[in-house]
Structures are given as structure tokens and as C-alpha cells.
Amino acid sequence: MILQTVELVVKYGLYTALQGVSLSAEDGSVLLIIGPNGSGKSTLFKSASGLVRPAGGKIIFQGEEIQGLPPDAIVKKGLIQCPEGRRLFSEMTVKDNLRMGAYLAKDSDRFREDSEKVFGWFPILKERASQRAGTLSGGEQQMLAIGRALMSRPKLLMLDEPFLGLSLKMKYVVMSGIREIQKSGITIMLVEQDVYSTSEMANYIYVLSGGRIIGEGKPADVLSHKEFIATYLGTSVDTVNTESTPGKLP
């Protein structure tokens, strides 16, 4: 296992956001975390990134406990988060945004090598290298946000709602890039509301609700329980059809 949480508890004042969450990510896999709004998905990522200090439990990355470490120390270990909302430097170029992600790099050769990898996964970014990030389309901005995270050479990349607001066509382009990133050996943890599209590339799914894990399993097993999906994702049972729901990757 590259990452494990053991009975993880996170509190915001008197409110308990995570209540004893235990999960694990296999090295080189794509792990999908689903659940309704407010279920604790983003809090899980923030605690793993060191942005939120757990009140209890353990976070183990590559065999080492990391709960309580500062975010920069966690980044150096290779656990990188690409946050929801992209948070790009809009007035800076694509290339300079990538350079900001490569602050750990000590030489220009590494920057060139890593940026070429990003351009290989998302070719449109090479065409836009001198363009200001704020002028990119939403899908291109999402590719750049992921690319910037990749410049830190993650061993595990956490993606928080990477398809939010994207057109179906652009969603598939970003998904294709993520699949290639995973094939390169980088483990992916993914928080996403669009279960049916993202389940196509997931190896395993955890379902969060009310700060607890209420279900887990292979994608086909999780999605086969229509009442379960309807209850926790707010979809009418009559509308849940795993065979006809659009969103399968080409």
C-alpha cells in the first residue's frame, strides 16, 4: 500500500468532519472517493496534504506516519494535491505556472524533462506555453492545474473534483490524460461527483457519508446497487441505469 489512513478523525471546532476513516490505496492504482456534499471527501485530502491536522488516527504514506507534518514536508515525500478550483496564477503564462510547480527542482534540465512529460500527457498545453493561464478554456486550465502538480514529481497525486464544470468532450480529454499519468506509475486518488464517468478508470471505490466510510468495493460492485447510489448521491432509483448512463470513456 502506498497510502493508508487508520481510524482518521478530523474536527473543525465541535464539528467532526471525519469519524474514524480507514482506507488504503494500492501503488499504481486509481482510487475513487465518492459521496454527497459535506461527506468529508475534501477534508480527507486536506488532512493527507497536511493542510488540516487530524484529531486522531494515522496517515501512513510509503510506510511512514505523516499526520502532523507540515504541507511542504509532505510534498517533498511525493504526496501532492491538485485542489478543487484550479487556483492558477492567471496573469502568468502556462510555462511559468508549470515552473511554479517545479520549485523543488534544482536545475533547468529537470524542468525541461518534467514539462515535456506534462506536454506529452496534455499536448494542448505545449501549444499554449506562452499564453496567460487566465485566457485558457476551463478544460485547458484544469490540464494546467494537474500539470503544475505533476511538476513536483508525485508518487501519489490527489485530484479534487477535476471534472467540475467541464464539457463532456473536455472531460474525456482530461480523463485520457489522467489514465496515461496512472500508466506511468503514479498512483491517483480522485474525489469526484460524476461517479459513472470516473468509475471507468477506477480500480477501487470508497463511499463516504457523514464523515464515515459506508461502502467500498470494485466499481462494478458498487455501481450495481442502484438503491445504494440513489440514497447517497441523491439520484432517483428510477433514473439510475448503469448500462445507459452516458460517460463511458471512448
In the chain, where does DSSP find H-type helix?
A: 41-49, 71-77, 94-101, 108-121, 123-127, 138-150, 168-183, 195-198, 219-223, 226-233
The reported pLDDT for the residue numbered 159 is 94
Residues 138 and 103 in one domain: yes
Q: Are 197 and 4 in contact (CB under 8 A)?
A: no
DSSP string computed for 51-108:
SS--SEEEEEETTEE-TT--HHHHHHHTEEEE-TT----TTSBHHHHHHHHTTT--SH
**Are residues 58 and 96 both part of a single domain?**
no
24 with 66, same domain: the answer is yes
Backbone angles phi, psi at 131, to 5 degrees: -90, 145
Residue 68 lies in a domain: yes
Residue 230 placed within a domain? yes
Q: How confident is the model at residue 235 (pLDDT cuts 50, 70, 90)?
A: low
Whether 25 and 95 share a structural domain? no
By residue range, what is the domain housing residue 109?
A: 88-153
Count the neighbouring beta carbons within 10 Å of the beta carbon of residue 184: 11
What's the CA dihedral at 195, 196, 197, 198 to 10 degrees?
40
Considering 153, 178, 204, which residue would you say is the last residue of a domain? 153
Residue 108 within a domain: yes
Number of compact structural domains in the chain: 2
Co-location of 63 and 131 in the same domain = no
Instruction: Note whether 49 and 166 are same-domain residues.
Output: yes
Is the confidence at residue 86, as pLDDT, over 80?
no
Give domain status of residue 175, yes or no.
Answer: no
Amino acid at 220: A
pLDDT of residue 154: 94
Half-sphere exposure of residue 116, counting CA atoms within 13 Å on the CB side? 6
Q: Is 211 in contact with 17 (CB distance < 8 Å)? A: yes
pLDDT-derived band at 80 (thresholds 50, 70, 90) equals very high
My answer on whether 128 and 198 are in the same domain is no
Helices 94-101 + 138-150 axis angle, to 10:
30
Least confident range from 63-67, 69-73, 108-112, 237-241: namely 237-241
> Is 176 contained in some domain?
no
- Rounded CA separation 49/59 (Å): 10
Instruction: Please tell me the predicted confidence (pLDDT) of residue 231.
Output: 55
Q: Are residues 61 and 97 in the same domain?
A: no
Q: 137 or 101: which carries more pLDDT confidence?
A: 137
Band of pLDDT at residue 226, cut at 50, 70 and 90: low
User: Do 95 and 69 belong to one domain?
Assistant: no
Q: Which residues pair with residue 132 across a beta bridge? A: 93
- On whether both 147 and 162 belong to a single domain, the answer is no
Note whether residue 238 is domain-resident. Answer: yes
Is residue 178 a part of any domain in this protein?
no
Residues 48 and 161 in one domain: yes
Entry pTM: 0.85
Tell me the pLDDT of the chain averaged across its residues. Answer: 86
Q: How confident is the model at residue 56 (pLDDT cuts 50, 70, 90)?
A: very high
What's the CATH code of the domain at 52?
3.40.50.300
The helix or strand, by DSSP H or E, that contains position 7, with its residue range, turns out to be strand 3-12
Predicted confidence (pLDDT) at residue 110 exceeds the cutoff of 90? no
Q: Verify that 2 and 58 share a domain, yes or no.
A: yes
Report the pLDDT value the prediction gives residue 215, as an integer from 0 to 100. Answer: 86
Inside any domain, residue 101: yes
Cell of 166: 467541464
Euclidean distance between CA atoms 89 and 79, whole angstroms: 22
